[in-house]
Amino acid sequence: MYIINTLSITMMDKFPANLHLKEIKPDKAARLAAKMHKVNGVESYVNNADHARIFSETLGIDVAHRPEIFYMKGGDNALLGKYFSPEAPFGSKEIPEGGQLRWFLVEVR
């Protein structure tokens, strides 16, 4: 399983690609990340160091900062963390008041 902070069409290995997205609650995201970390490990492709730190704190596992390009193929799954609400000031180390971190399961079919 991957942990990511962005999702783009350029991350698909080939086309056609069918993506399934499902929002999950933060506590479920943390349980899933912990379980996958123990069973198979997780690969982080979080391209922002501050996001990786916040994800680590939120999920309770080490989420590495790894600004590399990668491709998802059929059968791949990812845990996507996305920030919603007010724009964070450049270089912000915390989620601003009124902002929220939301979690999604991504499956490439």
Residue 90 predicted with pLDDT over 70: no
15-47 pLDDT, tens per residue? 999 999 999 999 999 999 999 988 888 999 999
Spatial contact of 75 and 20, defined as CB atoms under 8 Å apart: no
Structure tokens at 61: 């596992």
Distance CA 11, CA 71 (A): 5
2-18 pLDDT, tens per residue? 999 999 999 999 999 99
- On whether the pTM is more than 0.85, the answer is yes
Q: What backbone phi and psi angles, to 5 degrees, belong to 17?
A: -130, 140
In order of their start, the domains of the chain are 2-82 (3.40.50.11170)
Distance CA 104, CA 84 (A): 13
